[in-house]
Amino acid sequence: MAVHHGSCHCGAVRFRIEAEIRELTTCDCSLCAKKNALMTRVPDSALTILAGEDVLSLYEWNTKRAKHYFCSRCGIYTFHRKRALPDHYEVNVRCLDGFDASAVPVRGVDGVGMSLVLADARAEWTGPREAD
């Protein structure tokens, strides 16, 4: 199994994933489009936070099932727990040390089509609105 080390920009958050990275994804939801991350999916057991868990900030929105983690010092998005697959993480491969993303196929994910359940969802948040 391949081991990849990664960190945020300032180095406060450091982590390791144990995974063969065979596919990358981009998502077109309003959050992912703004953060422009390139992600790979790993099961919970494949991600180990080595340092900086105490400086991770959590962002949740809409259903609050997805958990988006950012370094509270430099603001870099490192990984998130998936809404559709809550026992997996999507890891931002742009945070991995020495990783060549150009060597791995990229698949687009439909985030725009995911439903919004917030009554006061911002107009900028795309996706079908669900009735309360």
> 83-101 pLDDT, tens per residue?
778 899 999 999 999 999 9
The domains located in the chain, with CATH, are 3-21+40-98 (2.170.150.70)
The vertex-61 CA angle with 109 and 115, nearest 5°, equals 50
| Tens-place pLDDT, residues 97-118 | 999 999 999 987 656 555 556 6
pTM of the model: 0.82
H/E/C letters for each residue in the chain? CCEEEEECCCCCCEEEEECCCCCEEEECCHHHHHHCCCEEEEEHHHEEEEECHHHEEEECCCCCCCEEEEECCCCCEEEEECCCCCCEEEEEHHHECCCCHHHCCEEEECCCCCCECCCCCCCCCCCCECCC
> pLDDT tens, 13-61?
999 999 999 999 998 777 878 888 899 999 999 999 999 999 999 998 7
